[in-house]
């Protein structure tokens, strides 16, 4: 046995259909094995709140060791995990192939699957149902969920558990799928004419921010890429956060079946949101042996990853104008988890005169987790270093590929410096602006 590992991390399949996966005794045995190793290491103390929670339980116990911590205290540790994967990818020296074989996020997933909670968050995870309803009633829903609507948000907090202070994404009155019916002219003289991409709209892009898909299509069309848009349904990340693995696998098979039809026609699949790209690339293949899921994983790209590839091969089409701006590029956790480097930063640096600072700190949001009344204050605490660092950059904007993370950083900035004038947007909009895109 050797201390730590210099080998590239690998990830094992989630054996969720094995009866031992939900065996209470085996789960407790594995939790104690992993928690004891974490206790002896503590490199993850400054990531999510799971680790401080665990270490406090141990330090405040009678013996100062894990043996004095009751198993009924473990849910408090599990609840703080946002499945960001940063402990696995950036901190833990004991991930496979090390013989300690630690995968903390997937152990938390196992616990949630074995001990599901019947909470309102299960209903919040029904993204397509909620998205269809929210889009249909967008003016009413947006008014009701605005933080300025104190009466409405107080009622929502008491009934649904969403913290009244948390900014919630607005619904668009028309979906990306409906707006994308009008084609974008393709630049036939561009260096990448002939390439084909299908945008996987994602629930966020389809229901909340269609402009993200339209701006992406505009950039790619400028570069000669034939762009189509598809949306078979949500990737299931919100349900994965709840531990509902069967629902995620069911969604994976539906989405993969449709998107693989595009792959067979020569299209590359591009997911508009990092969390969704991560699901298609990495999480789904660990949950199912479906061959279409495996095929989709090999043909899925992130937005910035693909644009940087275009730039590095044949170069981008002419027409990018200089932007005299100073911006902070936030690398979201699920962008980092794709293990592809700072592609958003590389993409932004293609714009002349754009001053780009990099922010590689967790926003603290964690999907719907950070909006809940039980977690909002912790989410702000976790994201405080990111907000503080942003202030030091003297930027006018913080650009994040994860729109929820960007908004949460702004809320952290509001707490630190109420008079700040920093705004947030997706980095794609900045590149589209440099290309002359106007909505």
Between CA 311 and CA 80 the distance in angstroms is 40
Q: Rounded CA gap, 341 and 279, in Å?
A: 17
**For 116-130, 205-219, 315-329, which range has the lowest pLDDT when averaged over its residues?**
116-130
The structure's pTM equals 0.92
d(CA 432, CA 227): 15
Task: Give the orientation angle of helix 150-160 with respect to helix 138-145, to 10 degrees.
Answer: 90
Share the mean pLDDT of the chain.
93
> What CA–CA distance (Å, rounded) separates 35 from 384?
26
Question: Which three-class secondary structure state does DSSP give residue 194?
Answer: coil
Q: Are 275 and 402 in contact (CB under 8 A)?
A: yes
Q: Label residue 2 by pLDDT band (50, 70, 90).
A: low
Angle, alpha carbons 322-347-84 (nearest 5°): 140
Contact present, 182 and 147 (Cβ < 8 Å): no
**Rounded to whole angstroms, how far apart are CA atoms 52 and 31?**
16
* Angle at which helices 24-41 and 50-59 cross, to 10°: 90
Q: How far is CA 89 from CA 15, 47, 104, 292, in A?
A: 20, 12, 11, 26
CA distances 60 to 32, 73, 359, Å, are: 17, 12, 34
Which DSSP helix (H) or strand (E) runs through 176?
Answer: helix 176-179
For residues 216 and 223, the answer to whether their CB atoms sit within 8 Å is: no
Q: CA–CA separation, 166 vs 388, rounded Å?
A: 19
Rounded Cα distance, 204 and 33, in Å: 38
Q: Is 331 exposed, middle or buried (0-12, 13-18, 19+ CB in 10 A)?
A: buried
Domain(s) of CATH 3.40.50: residues in the chain:
319-434
Structure tokens at 47: 């990531």
Tens digit of pLDDT for each residue in 71-96? 999 999 999 998 888 888 877 889 99
- What digits encode the pLDDT tens for the residues 274-313? 999 999 999 999 999 999 999 999 999 999 999 999 999 9
**pLDDT of 336 over the 90 cut:** no
- Within 10 angstroms of residue 42's Cβ, the number of other Cβ atoms is 13
pLDDT on residue 367: 80
Give the integer Cα–Cα distance in Å for 15 and 17.
6
CA-based radius of gyration for the chain = 22
263-284 confidence digits (pLDDT tens):
999 999 999 999 999 999 999 9
pLDDT digits (tens, 9 = 90+) for 402-427: 989 999 999 999 999 999 999 999 99
Task: Please answer whether residues 365 and 169 qualify as being in contact, where contact means their C-beta atoms are separated by less than 8 angstroms.
Answer: no
Instruction: Name every residue whose Cβ is closer than 8 Å to that of residue 382 and which is 6 or more positions away in sequence.
Output: 48, 49, 362, 364, 366
At 135, the pLDDT band (50, 70, 90 cuts) reads very high
Whole-angstrom Cα distance, residue 221 to residue 196? 10
**Structure tokens given for 116:** 């599901």
Looking at the chain, the whole-number percentage of residues with pLDDT higher than 90 is 81
Question: 44 or 26: whose pLDDT is higher?
Answer: 26
Q: What is the CATH number of domain 319-434?
A: 3.40.50
Alpha carbons 222 and 19: distance in angstroms, whole number: 52
Report the pLDDT value the prediction gives residue 337, as an integer from 0 to 100. 84
3 pLDDT more than 70: no
CA dist 181 and 183 (Å) reads 6
């Amino acid at each position: 046995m050797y201390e730590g590992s210099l080998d590239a991390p690998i990830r094992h399949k989630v054996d969720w259909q094995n009866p031992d996966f939900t065996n209470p005794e085996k789960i407790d045995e594995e939790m104690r094995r992993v928690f004891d190793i974490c206790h002896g290491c503590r490199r993850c103390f400054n990531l999510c709140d799971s680790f401080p929670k665990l270490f406090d339980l141990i330090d405040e116990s009678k013996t100062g060791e894990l043996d004095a911590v009751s198993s009924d205290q473990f849910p408090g540790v599990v609840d703080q995990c946002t499945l960001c994967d940063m402990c696995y990818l950036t901190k833990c020296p004991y991930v496979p192939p090390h013989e300690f074989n630690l995968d903390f996020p997937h152990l938390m997933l196992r616990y949630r699957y074995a001990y599901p909670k019947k909470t309102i968050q299960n209903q919040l995870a029904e993204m397509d149902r909620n998205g269809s309803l929210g889009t249909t009633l967008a003016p009413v829903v947006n008014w009701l969920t605005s933080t300025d609507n104190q009466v409405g948000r107080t009622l929502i907090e008491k009934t649904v558990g969403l913290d009244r202070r948390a900014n919630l994404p607005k619904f668009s009155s028309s979906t990306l799928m409906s707006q994308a019916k009008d084609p974008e002219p393709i630049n036939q003289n561009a260096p990448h004419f002939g390439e084909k991409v299908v945008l996987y709209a994602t629930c966020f892009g389809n229901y909340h921010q269609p402009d993200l898909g339209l701006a992406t299509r505009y950039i790619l069309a400028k570069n000669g890429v034939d762009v189509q848009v598809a949306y078979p349904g949500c990737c299931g990340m919100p349900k994965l956060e709840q531990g509902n693995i069967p629902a995620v696998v069911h969604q994976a098979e539906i989405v993969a079946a449709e998107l693989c039809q595009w792959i067979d026609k020569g299209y590359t699949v591009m997911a508009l949101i990092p969390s969704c790209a991560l699901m298609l690339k990495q999480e789904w293949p660990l949950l199912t042996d479906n061959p279409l899921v495996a095929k989709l994983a090999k043909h899925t790209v992130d937005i910035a990853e693909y644009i940087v590839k275009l730039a590095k091969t044949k170069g981008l089409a002419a027409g990018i104008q200089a932007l005299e701006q100073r911006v902070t590029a936030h690398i979201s956790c699920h962008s980092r988890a794709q293990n592809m480097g700072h592609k958003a930063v590389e993409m932004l640096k293609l714009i002349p005169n754009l001053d780009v600072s990099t922010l590689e700190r967790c926003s603290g949001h964690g999907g719907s987790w950070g909006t809940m009344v039980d977690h909002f204050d912790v989410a702000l605490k976790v994201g405080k270093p990111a907000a503080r660092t942003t202030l030091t950059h003297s930027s006018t904007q913080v650009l994040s590929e994860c729109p929820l993370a960007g908004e949460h950083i702004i809320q952290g900035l509001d707490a630190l410096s109420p008079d700040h004038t920093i705004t947030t947007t997706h980095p794609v909009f900045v590149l589209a602006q440099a290309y002359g895109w106007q909505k």
